[in-house]
Amino acid sequence: MINENELEAMAENFRGSGKTFAEFLAEFLKDKVIEIYLGDSYEEVSTEQISVSYPAVFCGKIVSAYRECLVISTIYVDKKRVVKPGKLVFINERAIRALSEVSEDSFLEDMFLRSKESLKVLKSFKV
C-alpha cells in the first residue's frame, strides 16, 4: 500500500529534477496494480428522480513512462466476458484525473463523495 512518508521522500528527490508527473508515477508505483480515472463514466443509470453515474477506470500495472506518457499493462474483458491481462495502454499524464493503488478495502469509486459527507471525512482525520 502507498505510504505517505515514502511518497514525501520520493517527491523531495524529484524536486528540481525535470522529471514529469508520469515519470514520478512510474518510479513510485512501478509494478503496483492501480486504477486510473480519466473523468469518463462507464455507465449512467437514470430513473425519473435519480441519475447515478459510475466512473470508468483503467486497471493494471504501471510498466514505464516516457516524458508525459504513462504506459500501463491493463486488464480488459474480451468478447466472451473473460478478464484478460496484457493489453498496453498509453495515457497522457494530463488526462489523469485520479489514480490510486488497488486494494481490497476500497476503490476510487468509493472516494467520490457528496458534499454532505465531508464532515465524516473531517472527523476521521482528527486524531
> What value does the mean pLDDT take over residues 96-111?
83
In the chain, what are the domain boundaries? Answer: 4-125
Q: Confidence band (pLDDT; 50, 70, 90) for 55?
A: confident
- The residue count for the chain: 127
Question: How does pLDDT run across 56-92, given as a tens digit for each residue?
Answer: 888 899 999 999 999 999 988 889 999 888 899 999 9
CA dist 15 and 3 (Å) reads 19
The architecture CATH gives domain 4-125: Roll (2.30)
φ, ψ at 93 (rounded to 5°): -60, -25
| In contact, 54 and 41? CB cutoff 8 Å | yes
Among 19, 31, 23, 24, CA closest to 6 = 24
Q: Is residue 8's pLDDT more than 70?
A: yes
Question: How does pLDDT run across 24-54, given as a tens digit for each residue?
Answer: 899 889 888 999 988 787 777 888 888 877 7
pTM: 0.74
CA dist 41 and 27 (Å) reads 28
The pLDDT of residue 22: 93
The pLDDT of residue 39: 79
